[in-house]
Amino acid sequence: MQVSVAHHPPNTAVLVLRGSLDIDTAPALKANLSRLVERPAPRVVVDVSGLDFCDSMGVGVLVTAHGRAAERDGWVRLASPSGFLRRLFDTLGLSDYLPMFPDVAAALKED
Calculate mean pLDDT across residues 52-56: 93
* Beta-bridge partners for 43: 12, 75
The string of DSSP codes covering 45-86 is EEEEEEEEEE-HHHHHHHHHHHHHHHHTT-EEEEES--HHHH
Q: What is the pLDDT of residue 86?
A: 93
Q: What is the pLDDT of residue 99?
A: 94
Length of the chain: 111
- Looking at the domain 2-108, which fold is it? Transcription Regulator spoIIAA (3.30.750)
- Give the orientation angle of helix 26-37 with respect to helix 56-71, to 10 degrees: 10
Rounded Cα gap, residues 68 and 64, in angstroms: 6
Judge whether residue 94 has pLDDT over 90.
yes
Domain-wise residue ranges, the chain? 2-108
